[in-house]
Amino acid sequence: MALRRAIAYTLPMVILDNIISDRGSKYAVSGGPCRSSDEARAFVEDLKKTKKFAKATHNSWALICAEGQIRQDDGESGAGMIILKMLEREGLTDHIVVVTRWFGGKHLGGDRFRHVQSAVRTYIEQLK
3-state secondary structure of 108: coil
Residue 80 pLDDT greater than 70, yes or no:
yes
* CA nearest to 59, candidates 13, 92, 90, 23: 13
The pLDDT value given to residue 36: 96
3-state secondary structure of 67: coil
* Residue 65 parent element (H or E): strand 58-65
Give the total residue count for the chain. Answer: 128
Q: How many CA atoms lie within 13 A of 121 on its CB side?
A: 7
Per residue in 11-47, pLDDT tens? 689 999 999 999 999 999 999 999 999 999 999 999 9
The per-residue pLDDT of the chain, averaged, comes to: 92
Q: Across residues 60-78, what is the average pLDDT?
A: 97
The pLDDT value given to residue 4: 43
The pLDDT value given to residue 1: 42
The pLDDT value given to residue 5: 44
Banded pLDDT at 108 (limits 50, 70, 90): very high
* CA nearest to 11, candidates 68, 94, 80, 79: 94
